[in-house]
Copies of this chain bind each other. A is one copy, B any other.
């Protein structure tokens, strides 16, 4: 196996990249600017050294606390709870939320050995207890595990006096009733709002 096949093989291990795409990308890198490859190579090499979880919210960051936790313009009375660090950038790109985040690091899933103590739930409890928080919005995925985790967090926080909410679940915007699965339809009925 030569250097080109080796690189192509490595690319094919990345999520969403098949053998054909991997070999196409490797060929592209062979013909591209040398400077691009040097930069690319350095970015991969330094990634894990430069990015760490924020000690407050758990999001990935180069500086601790992260830019969101240390932004004085953010609304510090609301915390949005998400499963994974990458969910933070998804929500940020919607520009709808201006509060703080809290990354759980997963969802409760006894089958996969993920019990509540393996998630950053006690840290969330501590943040709420330290005061100043009025609402916790739970943005775990609308799955069985995501719902279970949301319910668990609601129970943990119920005596703190904070308002615990959950993102609406229903028909995706621009979607078509015909293509909605049954559970999404059920949820869109249950969560219907007055117009």
Binding site for B on A (CB under 8 A): 2-7, 10, 13-17, 21, 23-30, 34, 36-48, 50-51, 60-62, 84-86, 89
| Residues of chain B within 8 A of A86, CB atoms compared | 23-24, 27
Complex CA gap A78/B15 in Å reads: 40
| Residues of chain B within 8 A of A30, CB atoms compared | 47-48, 51, 60
15 sample A-B contacts, Cβ–Cβ < 8 Å, listed by A number: A2-B61, A4-B47, A5-B89, A7-B44, A10-B40, A13-B36, A14-B25, A15-B28, A16-B21, A16-B25, A17-B25, A30-B48, A30-B60, A37-B44, A38-B45
Given known contacts A10-B40, A23-B89, A44-B37, A50 and B16 CB-to-CB distance under 8 angstroms = no
Report how many copies the assembly holds: 2
* Additional A-B contact list (18), CB under 8 Å, known A3-B46, A3-B51: A4-B51, A4-B60, A5-B89, A7-B43, A14-B25, A15-B25, A15-B28, A16-B21, A16-B24, A17-B25, A24-B86, A30-B47, A30-B48, A37-B44, A37-B48, A40-B44, A41-B44, A41-B45
Complex CA gap A29/B21 in Å reads: 18
Complex CA gap A150/B27 in Å reads: 24
